[in-house]
Amino acid sequence: MLRLAHGDLGTSFVMQQPVLDVLHSQLWPTMQLALSADVLALVLAMLVATVTAGGESKWNAGVASLIELTSRRRPCSGSACCY
């Protein structure tokens, strides 16, 4: 436990490297994926809001609600918390 408190997470069984090095090597690609997912979600939300803004058709609003409901079920990304 003392080594863990000092940042020593041990050695990976699979990669045979220090765990901290493995985490550092995967941090940037993980952040890129999370940021890309957040940007895509924002663009899609803006698109759906623009399409359904007129309020003329209940069909558009129903489809938008379905999209919103199903998109809320996705897991949280690394850069955003669940809401």
**pLDDT tens-place string over residues 5-52:** 666 778 878 888 888 888 888 889 999 998 998 888 888 878 877 777
Global pTM?
0.55
CA–CA dist 13, 18 (Å, integer) = 9
Residue 55 confidence (pLDDT): 62
Task: With beta carbons less than 8 A apart as the criterion, state whether 80 and 39 touch.
Answer: no
